[in-house]
Chains A and B, each alone.
Chain A
């Protein structure tokens, strides 16, 4: 079985190399016969998908067959591992996850190569670039991190099992989402490089890649937040983001990718920022690879990095080579990237995008700098330092607040120039609303002068309210105009409005989701926690809740044995729920794991919802009594809800616009007090 996988990977490497070389040759020497050579390159690229898919299937089937003659299966699976986690074995370790990366790249490549008729030459260039990236990953798989390496000596009766931290339902979908995002940014990069190399006229390549970029960004967003939710639900420290290097590695391409999604509109609509966009799309691709390098080389210590291995050198060379290739073509063809228009006013959509990009790139630089600084410190002063949450919070929070301000203001500024009157019209009521939110928070006890974190929370709440109100007012204003014309109700009119320009209004929905996420985060300074040894009938108070320990119980299954605490949650005299925080002991890996339980107090607190988060920490060795830790985390459910809204917004932005309605004569109505257009 393992030999089928090995040969499939070898053949895939050969075909990828052929796709790259033959494709390059056909493009470099156009003429008789080159079309046929180009076509064979395209078909070779398609065949690569079939082979990598075959190798992946072989690995998954081997996991299900408990084939411990394959070292990878031995290290990452065991006989009693539940079926979904056996499937997830594919991306649970170094070699498998590289194979999965290669598979996703092959899938993206397949779609691109099947849709080549959109613009055959541009797609042929992009196909060659994807083939070059694929060659790198297949070389890694064949020569440095072989997923089908066989065990030496006798075949073990059982495997080591999957890391207990990964045995959680979200881990079955979090890595694929994240990888779809990482790998997906290869596509816009490939098109950008193709456009640069062939000095592609106009901005059509951006129209072609728009959906690719948005889909990829959507996957990366989902992947990052699923990771945060996994950390929150499994790690048991009551938080969802720890500024760990691996988390940072996923955030960096997301930040530059988000900047690109905004600035690319400048190029589409005004022919500006061509050089900048080229660099942004390259940086996003490069940072995705850099993140993988960080995670897998062991160069930076992280709580959930892969083991240190020699593949770091491979990645370092690939990063250097891709940078050199990009620089070569950029220097050679940069005259092709001149801006076409001038900036007319500082108060315009264009300048808001400029500042938005500045802030995103600054945030990315800060994360990159903080991630690398321990290494830099080691090189310069031979002293190790830690760069953790206090550093990032110091810099990232002010930048995030400024970005939030631009999120509120930017979309309502007009292209070219915005009049003072329009500013007043668009922002008066949202600003009053935001100030009212700030005042309400202060009345209810938030003292921004007592603690900088309270100040940040207050500002974040006001700015999130500003974003929400500007988005709502934009929908309502536009909806009213349509309602006047069509006689539809307001809701129907707003739907109609969205359908006329899905990208613009989908973007607003994403902004709405971002504001919800910020609302979820701003509750952090008000977190509370308490820890106590709890015997039967013992009580512990946290905020308005009283936790009463009812009992402890145990269970056992082939994969793990476990112990639960049974905790009744009271609010006043009323019991609102029973929670079962758990501790598991995984038999194959001989590792213990806590499983916190979380109760969102929607019914009790509605909009001011809190998470009651209970962890069964273990038993005090001295007293023999179980220790229960409880956190009360205000507003956290808003984060997950906000992400859902962001995803819905992204999906809605991908839906094609309704066909424009032709009118025979201009309508005689009052000027519409609507913002600035897309």
Chain B
């Protein structure tokens, strides 16, 4: 009985593995997907400030040529880094649609996350400070109700106003 249960689990596990593998390899990247990906990581350098594959402005003298160069680089079997590097050498660093993740350019990528961490830390500090704050006293020494007593009032208010 135990053996048959183990065997069943084994089969389910294998089936799950096969399914994951099938899903993973469905739609796996091909050359046209690479062309699309790299073409969206490059800018057209004609001055239109558009992504290479999105530049369609009339009379552009660069985009067709650059697309041809990209296609040729892929046909030559160059990897992504080499392809992008060849464009940088030819057209300068502004041909890349985003800063590289090296040297000072790393700062561009890091800063939003630094801001997020700082913002979160400040929010948490603020929340803690507000939670520990003493309740303000009201005229006549009346103090606002809190906790279960407040919940009771809220429930009563709901019942009586229905909204």
The chain A residues found within 8 Å of chain B, CB to CB, are 235-239, 242, 244, 272, 301-303, 339-344, 346, 351, 354-355, 358, 361-362, 365-366, 369-370, 373, 377, 380-381, 383-391, 394-395, 414, 416-417, 419, 445, 447, 449-450, 478, 481, 485, 497, 500, 583, 592-594, 615, 617-618, 629, 666-667, 669, 671-672, 674, 677
Across the interface, which residues of A come within 8 angstroms of B158, CB to CB? 671-672, 674
A364 → B minimal CB distance (Å): 10
7 contacts between A and B (CB under 8 A): A272-B130, A303-B48, A340-B136, A366-B112, A383-B93, A386-B43, A669-B162
Contact of A667 among B23, B41, B162 (CB under 8 A): B162
Complex-state Cα separation, A365 to B119, whole angstroms: 11
Q: Are B109 and A342 in contact (CB under 8 A)?
A: no
Give Cα A583 to B59, complex, Å.
12
A351 to B129, CA, bound (A): 13
| Identity of the chain B residue whose Cβ is nearest the Cβ of A385 in the assembled complex | B99
Are B49 and A594 closer than 8 Å at their CB atoms?
A: no
Which listed residue (B49, B55, B108) contacts A373, Cβ 8 A? B108
- CB-nearest residue of chain B to A301: B49
Additional A-B contacts beyond A385-B105, A485-B162 (11; CB < 8 A): A244-B49, A370-B108, A381-B103, A389-B98, A390-B97, A391-B97, A391-B99, A391-B108, A417-B151, A481-B163, A669-B162
Whether A236 lies near B127 (C-beta < 8 A) is: no
How many Å lie between the Cα of A266 and that of B68 in the bound state?
56
How far, in Å, is B162 (CB) from chain A's closest CB?
5
Chain B residue contacts of A358, Cβ below 8 A: 119-120, 123
Give every chain B residue within 8 A of A666 (Cβ-Cβ): 159-160
Q: A478 contacts which chain B residues (CB < 8 A)?
A: 163
Least CB separation from A239: chain B residue: B54
User: How distant is A548 from chain B, measured CB to nearest CB, in Å?
Assistant: 22
Interface membership of B146, Cβ < 8 A: yes
Q: Is the CB of A303 within 8 A of B50?
A: yes
**Residue in A303, A344, A361 whose beta carbon sits within 8 Å of that of B49 in the complex:** A303
A370 to B99, CA, bound (A): 10
Interface residues of B in 85-116 (CB under 8 A from A): 92-99, 103-105, 108-109, 111-113, 115-116
CB-nearest residue of chain B relative to A478?
B163
Could you say which of B9-17, B24-32, B71-79 contacts chain A?
Answer: B24-32
Within 8 A of A (CB), among B119-137: 119-120, 123, 126-127, 130-131, 133-136
Smallest beta-carbon distance A168→chain B, Å: 15
Q: List the 4 shortest-distance A-B pairs measured between CB atoms, nearest first.
A: A343-B130, A388-B97, A390-B98, A666-B160
* B113 cross-chain contacts in A, Cβ below 8 A: 395
A594 touches B56 (CB 8 A): yes
From A237, A383, A395, B54 is in contact (CB under 8 Å) with: A237
Structural contact, A672 and B163, CB atoms closer than 8 A: yes
Q: B-side interface residues toward A, CB under 8 Å?
A: 23-24, 26-28, 40-41, 43, 48-51, 54-59, 92-99, 103-105, 108-109, 111-113, 115-116, 119-120, 123, 126-127, 130-131, 133-136, 146, 150-151, 154-155, 158-160, 162-163
Beta-carbon contact of A416 and B150 below 8 Å: yes
Closest A residue by C-beta to B45 = A386
Q: List A contacts of B23 (CB < 8 A).
A: 447, 449-450
Least CB distance, A355 to chain B, in whole angstroms:
7
Min Cβ gap B27→A in Å is 6
Contacts of A594 in B (CB 8 A): 56, 58
Bound-state CA distance A670–B96 (Å) is: 63
Cross-chain contact A389 with B51 (CB below 8 angstroms): yes
- The answer to whether A388 and B162 touch across the interface, beta carbons within 8 angstroms, is no
Please, how many angstroms separate the alpha-carbon atoms of A369 and B105 in the complex? 12
Contacts of B116 in A (CB 8 A): 362
Point out which of B96, B97, B155, B163 has the most chain A C-beta atoms below 10 A from its C-beta: B163
Contact A377/B109 with A386-B98, A449-B23 known, Cβ cut-off 8 Å? no
A343-B151 Cα distance, complex, nearest whole Å: 15
Partner of A344, one of B96, B112, B146: B146
Query: In the complex the two chains form, what is the Cα distance from A235 to B50 in whole Å?
Result: 11
Find the A residue at minimum CB distance from B126. Answer: A354
Task: Give every chain B residue within 8 A of A373 (Cβ-Cβ).
Answer: 99, 108
Complex CA distance for A344 and B154, rounded to whole angstroms: 15
Which residues of the partner chain A approach B119 to less than 8 Å between Cβ atoms?
A: 358, 361-362
Contacts of A615 in B (CB 8 A): 56
Contact status A395-B112, CB under 8 Å: yes
Distance A417 CA – B104 CA, assembled complex (angstroms) = 45
Are the C-beta atoms of A583 and B58 separated by less than 8 Å? yes
Closest to B43 in A: A386
The residues of B that contact A445 with a CB separation of less than 8 Å are 26-27
A667 touching B160, Cβ below 8 Å: yes
Our pick among B48, B109, B159 for the contact of A671 (Cβ within 8 Å) is B159
Residue of A nearest to B128 (CB): A343
Q: Point out the residue from A244, A340, A389, A618 that lies within 8 Å of B58, measured CB to CB.
A: A618
| Smallest beta-carbon distance B143→chain A, Å | 12
Give the residue among A366, A419, A497 with the most B Cβ atoms within 10 A: A366
Cα of A497 to Cα of B112 in the assembled complex, Å: 41
Given the complex, which residues of A lie within 8 Å of B111, measured CB to CB? 369
A563 to B124, CA, bound (A): 61
Inside 8 A of A365's CB, which chain B residues have their CB? 112, 115
Q: How far is the CA of A522 from the CA of B126 in the complex (A)?
A: 35
| A346 to chain B: closest residue by CB | B127
- List the A side residues contacting B43 at CB < 8 Å: 386, 388
A384–B155 CB distance below 8 A: no
CB distance from B57 to the nearest CB of A (A): 8
Q: Give the docked Cα–Cα distance between A390 and B54 (Å).
A: 14
Q: Which of A302, A414, A416 has the most CB of B within 10 A?
A: A416
Complex alpha-carbon distance, A386 and B130, angstroms = 42
A595 vs B55: C-alpha distance when bound (angstroms) = 15
Given contacts A385-B105, A485-B162, whether A236 and B56 have CB atoms under 8 Å apart is yes
The answer to whether B159 touches A384 (Cβ under 8 A) is no
The answer on a CB contact under 8 Å between A450 and B24 is yes
Contacts of A366 in B (CB 8 A): 112, 115
Closest chain-B Cβ to A134's Cβ sits at a distance in Å of 33
A339 contacts B130, CB within 8 Å?
Answer: yes
Set of chain B residues within 8 Å of A447, measured between Cβ atoms? 23-24, 26-27
Which listed residue, A242, A351, A377, A669, touches B50 by the CB 8 Å rule? A242
Instruction: Tell me the minimal C-beta distance from A247 to chain B in angstroms.
Output: 11
A578 nearest CB across to chain B (Å): 22
Are the CB atoms of A387 and B99 closer together than 8 Å? yes
Q: How far is the CA of A449 from the CA of B126 in the complex (A)?
A: 37
**Once the chains are docked, how many angstroms separate the CA of A593 from the CA of B56?**
10
A contact residues around B130 at 8 Å (CB): 272, 339, 342-343
Residues of B within 8 A of A236 (CB): 56
Q: Hey, which chain A residues are within 8 Å of B134, CB to CB? A: 342
Q: Taking A381-B103, A671-B155 as contacts, is the C-beta distance between A450 and B40 under 8 angstroms?
A: no
- Nearest Cβ distance between residue B32 and chain A, in whole angstroms? 11
Residues from chain B with a CB closer than 8 A to the CB of A272 are: 130
When distances are taken between beta carbons in the complex, the residues of chain A under 8 Å from B57 are 235
User: Which residues of A lie under 8 Å from residue B97 when comparing CB positions?
Assistant: 386, 388-391
Known: A365-B112, A395-B112. A390 touches B159 (CB 8 A): no
Closest to A454 in B: B27
Query: Which among A235, A384, A617, A669 is the interface contact of B92 at CB below 8 angstroms?
Result: A384
Residues of A within 8 A of B56 (CB): 235-237, 594, 615, 617, 629
In this complex, what residue of B is CB-closest to A273?
B126
Contacts of A667 in B (CB 8 A): 160, 162
Complex-state Cα separation, A645 to B130, whole angstroms: 37
CB neighbours (8 Å) of A481 from chain B are 162-163
- Chain A residues positioned under 8 Å from B95 (CB to CB): 386
